[in-house]
Every structure is written in structure tokens, then in C-alpha cells.
């Protein structure tokens, strides 16, 4: 589960994109937001700093915090390199997020998967491929491997809904963070078929390992995005 300030920042961002907070008026003050979200003013300040470095808001001394008038120039498809939320949480505010299961099977892991997931060769894994769509438009193709021992009872229904929701709410597992490598690649046969791209179109690949709060790797995945559907946003709050 994301830190509370990140969850609040994400909710405020949804309100900005939906024009609930117009650019002509200041956002509610920090005391009002702290009361609404049931948290401290310090947490609200962290959320505001997150949105400032993302380029969505700015502050005026003595006047308040405002939405940048050009915020819609930012790609609404972009994903955050510092975040590891599922597709529903990441893009749900933009419309209907759906998942089409392309492949779902059990097998034993390859050497690379054993190394990435810290498991033995005889530990079975789920191997599944999902096409993620937003309002019916292909968004990403996700190739994912998960240890069966960590996620018992995973079904096709969970893949069509939200795997992270099942992991967190049903199994009670908590996620800590992720390690990601971003690169440009040539499209695979699956990419061309499901992302509707041509052989010469570049694909943005995110290779990632997501970890539970005790450091155990939960998934090893390759997520493929069309080059014209945004990019990776890296936010440094340090």
C-alpha cells in the first residue's frame, strides 16, 4: 500500500484532472484537507510537495495553492517510476480500466525468474499475460510471473479484476516498493497483435520486481507500452 501522503496526492490529482479544483481558485487550505483526510498537516504538506514537483500545482505566498493552468499538457497516460500501484489505481480516474487475459498457466521458473524472485527451480509460478485497456483502448501488455506459494488461489477472475487488490485485501500482504529498469525495445509478436503497433514502432519496456514489506519479491514482470502513450515520470522529493 502506498504511503498515506502519496494516496492523498493521488486523490487530489484526480480532483484536479476532473476540474473539481478549478485553476481560477485556490485549493482548500492545509487545515481543511487534513481534517477531510483524517491526517496531520505535515502529511498534507508532503502530498502538496509531491504535486508541486509533478508540475500540477504551485503556491503563492499569502494567497494559497493553485492549479497550474497548463497541467493538462502533462500526459495523463504517464506512470510514475517511484510508484507501484496497479492499473486500476493508476488510471482509474481517467475512465474504465479493463484487463484481457491473454495467457494464464502454471509452470516452473527459469533461471532469471529464480534469481529475480529468490525461489528454487522446483517452486511453481503463475505465468500470465494481460492486456490493460483504458476506455477500450490498449494501454499496456503486462507479462508477469508470481510464486504460487505467495499468492495461493489466484484465478482468472482476479486477473480480470485487480491482482493487487486480491493480494492486499484478501491475502493481507503489504507491498514495500519496486526495482525497475526502463528501456526501449522492438515490438514482439504479442505487442504488434495486442498494442496495435507496427514492426518499426518502438516499445517502452519496464522490467520490474515488486517487493513485500519484508523484502520478499512478489512479482517479476515486463510491462510494455506504446511509445505514443506517455512515459515514465521520475519524481525526486529529496
Please give the residue that has the higher pLDDT: either 76 or 65.
65
| pLDDT above 90 as % of the chain | 53
| pLDDT above 70 as % of the chain | 85
CA dist., res. 151 & res. 220, Å (int):
13
Res 53: pLDDT: 80
Please list, in sequence order, all residues whose beta carbon lies within 8 angstroms of the beta carbon of residue 73, skipping any fewer than 6 positions away.
none
Confidence of residue 170 (pLDDT cuts 50, 70, 90): very high
| 221 touches 184 (CB < 8 A) | no
Amino acid at each position: 500500500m502506498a504511503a498515506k501522503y502519496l494516496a492523498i496526492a493521488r486523490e487530489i490529482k484526480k480532483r484536479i484532472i476532473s476540474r473539481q479544483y478549478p485553476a481560477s481558485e485556490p485549493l482548500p487550505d492545509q487545515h481543511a484537507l487534513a481534517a477531510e483526510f483524517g491526517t496531520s498537516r505535515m502529511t498534507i504538506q508532503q502530498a502538496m510537495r509531491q504535486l508541486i514537483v509533478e508540475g500540477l500545482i504551485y503556491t503563492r505566498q499569502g494567497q494559497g495553492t493553485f492549479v497550474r493552468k497548463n497541467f493538462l499538457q502533462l500526459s495523463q497516460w504517464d506512470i510514475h517510476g517511484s510508484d507501484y500501484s496497479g492499473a486500476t489505481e493508476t488510471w482509474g480516474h481517467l475512465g474504465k480500466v479493463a484487463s484481457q487475459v491473454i495467457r494464464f498457466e502454471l509452470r516452473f521458473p527459469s533461471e532469471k525468474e529464480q534469481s529475480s524472485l529468490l525461489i528454487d527451480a522446483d517452486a511453481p509460478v503463475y505465468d500470465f499475460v494481460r492486456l490493460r485497456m483504458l476506455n477500450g483502448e490498449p494501454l499496456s501488455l503486462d507479462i508477469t510471473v508470481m510464486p504460487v506459494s505467495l499468492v495461493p488461489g489466484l484465478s482468472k477472475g482476479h486477473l480480470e479484476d485487480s491482482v493487487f487488490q486480491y493480494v492486499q485485501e484478501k491475502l493481507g500482504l503489504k507491498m514495500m516498493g519496486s526495482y525497475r529498469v526502463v528501456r526501449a525495445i522492438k515490438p514482439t509478436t504479442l505487442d504488434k497483435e495486442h498494442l496495435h503497433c507496427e514492426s518499426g514502432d518502438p516499445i517502452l519496456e519496464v522490467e520490474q520486481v515488486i517487493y513485500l514489506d519484508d523484502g520478499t519479491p512478489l512479482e517479476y514482470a515486463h510491462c510494455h507500452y506504446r511509445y505514443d502513450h506517455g512515459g515514465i515520470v521520475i519524481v525526486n522529493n529529496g
